[in-house]
Amino acid sequence: MASADVSTRPGGAAAIGPSSAMARHAGESRSSSLIWPRLWHNPRVVASSLVLLIIVAVAVFAPWLTPQDPMQMDSSARLQGPSAEHRLGTDEYGRDLLSRIILGSRTSIVVAVLSVAAATVVGTIFGLVGSYFGGIWEVATMRSVDVLLTFPPILLAIAVVAFVGPSLPNLIGVIALLYMPRFARIAHGAGLQVKQREFVEAARVLGAGTPRILWLAVLPNILAPIFVQISLSLGFAILLESGLSFLGLGTPPPEPSWGNMVGVARGYMRQSGWFVLWPSLAISLTILCFNTLGDGLRDSLDPRLKQ
Amino acid sequence: MVAYTIRRLLQAFALIFVVATLVALFIHAIPGDPVYVILGENNVTPERVAAVRRDLGLDRPVPVQYAEWIGAVARGDFGKSLISGRPIAGDLALRLPRTLELVLVSTLLSVLVGVPLGVVAATNRNRLPDLAVSTLTLIGVSAPVFVVGTLLVLVIGVQWGILPAAGYVPFRENPIEHIQHLILPCVALATLETAILQRMTRSSMLEVLAEDYVRTARAKGLAGRVVVYGHALRNALIPVLTIIGVQIGSALGGTVLVELIFNWPGLSSYLVTGINQRDYPVVQAVVLLIAALFILLNLLTDLCYAVVDPRIRYG
């Protein structure tokens, strides 16, 4: 079911069927000295990495960067437009929007990074174990991945959160669960290719244990596709976190998150358009950068896919 | 092809069964006693607890509950809503066409806009039209559907007031108003799909335009237009068309957010209301129905692939 893979990927066109692209990749060791110059000469990669670095820095240092207290209410200054005092205006309780956007970046980045990290580790292990051992292991890992892919991502997330309740750990767990299959597919496809190669056999002949073979011989050969997928998945994780928060099923208020800000601002659109505009821009810009970085990484790491 | 189709059909039904099992077990995943969660803190009396427990079948052993639920669902009986007391199947039948209308119209829209834009970009590769269109679609794939929807409501519905910001009017009551209410949600849903189709068409066209037979067609003196539309586009569209099933599936997921934004009384808004009211039978029914639709769409897509590319059937 390569199809389900595509549906969940706003990353788009060139990204169809990662496993097949990956498969071609597998087993080809490219020294890092060849990859880096190529990345640095891709202006899209450089530009989007720079913006992402700034966003991550803002998220890390958020408490020191907010010009005002993001929780400070002011009933005399509700739903204002940008002014000297409030650079981006204020929300429905008169709280400073710039400060809340800055603090909200934390939620998005933390949720995205932790969930994608978990998805990467679990998915890669699933895929490698399934492909390397084959048989019942392969059936168990890949069929469970198939089941996860039968739900539209947002629907599965909503269903799970509806029953276990919205909280930050639940949110991270759900997003990790949703994006694990992509990594499992990539690792599975690449693992199948690599395990037949001579160097894996050589390692086995030399007496290396299975974990050691997987770690030292197989894993390094599938890193490139996994990096591309990490970048794209980070964008989707932010998309999903904000979508769930928008529905009121993600980050619980009063903690600011870009998604729940858009959700709340929707109710005040007649009074203030600024309130809904800023968090929308923040979400879109961040996802744009992750998508661009993912596309650029793919072009650089696998020139044959370059359009 | 017949053997392949049968195999895939069986797989699809097995998957739907697995999903139904998961959905049936959802209610046991609620932390604490679901009956108290449903009733809330203030409404707990022994009689009401017993009544809800009986309605949900929670007073019987889990395997019995499971078997009865699966059996009822197989007969098209999804039970009754805990809030309205109406049979859920009736509400589903009423709301499913509304959701499908959004999905199909937005898919049609994305094909009509996305494919021509892809052709324009490919035939003007790296020139101004390509850069302009490709920049637009990069924004299109990055802006979340709820952001696009909310901004459409803000600008077109509220500030300009050209189209109704939200709501639904049945077609039989007033066809013109029905279509007016349909436009914004469909545009919101179609944005992402259009962008993806544009990117696919562009890359597929570029690949085909580099083929030998295109060069041959040009070399024998055919007009550029004939080469592009007669030779290249027809072949470039094959991978694009097979992706449309996937597009429909992802639009189905997008309706969850779009129906809420535009107050569209379809399946997904039924789901969100069900979640907010802790109407678990409704949530189970809608999740199962959408997942089943999604599985069947994926099946159709894979069958299309198999028709186009025989290697898949025998793989």
**SS in 3 state form for B256-286?**
HHHHHHCCCCCHHHHHHHHHHCCCHHHHHHH
Residue B53, C-beta contacts closer than 8 angstroms, at least 6 positions apart: B35, B59
Distance from CA of A163 to the nearest CA of B (A): 5
User: For the packed helices A258-265 and A273-301, what is the interaxial angle rounded to 10 degrees?
Assistant: 140
Tens of pLDDT, residue by residue, chain B (315 residues): 788 889 889 988 888 888 888 888 877 767 666 677 677 666 677 777 787 777 777 777 778 888 888 888 888 888 888 878 888 999 999 999 999 999 999 999 999 999 999 999 988 888 898 889 988 888 888 888 889 998 898 888 888 888 888 888 888 888 889 999 999 999 999 998 999 899 889 988 888 888 888 888 888 888 878 888 878 888 888 778 777 877 888 888 888 889 988 989 999 888 888 888 878 888 889 988 988 888 888 888 778 777 776 666 665
Give me the residues paired with residue A90 across strands. Answer: A96
C-alpha distances in Å from residue B215, one per residue of B209, B222, B310: 8, 10, 26
Nearest of A295, A277, A250, A243 to residue A82 by alpha carbon: A277
Complex-level ipTM beyond the 0.85 threshold: no
The amino acid at B98: R
Amino acid at B257: L
CB within 8 Å: B19 and A151: yes
Question: Rounded CA gap, B262 and B257, in Å?
Answer: 9
In the structure encoding, which two tokens stand for residue B3, read together?
Answer: 């053997």
Residue B238 Cα distances to A7, A213, A255, B106, B233, angstroms? 17, 41, 48, 20, 9
Chain B CB contacts of A152 under 8 Å are 249-250, 252-253, 256, 290-291, 294
For A:263-292, CB contacts with B below 8 A are 265-266, 269-270, 273, 276-277, 280, 283-285, 287-288, 291-292
For B144, the closest of A11, A164, A243 (CB atoms) is A243
Dihedral in degrees, nearest 10, Cα atoms B62, B67, B71, B73: 40
Cα A121–Cα A123–Cα A126 angle in degrees, nearest 5:
110
Q: Residues A14-24: pLDDT tens digits?
A: 333 333 333 33
The verdict on pTM exceeding 0.90 is: no
Query: A173 and A161 in contact (C-beta within 8 Å)?
Result: no
User: Would the CB atoms of B142 and A235 count as touching at under 8 Å?
Assistant: yes
- Taking residue B85's Cβ as centre, other Cβ atoms within 10 Å add up to 8
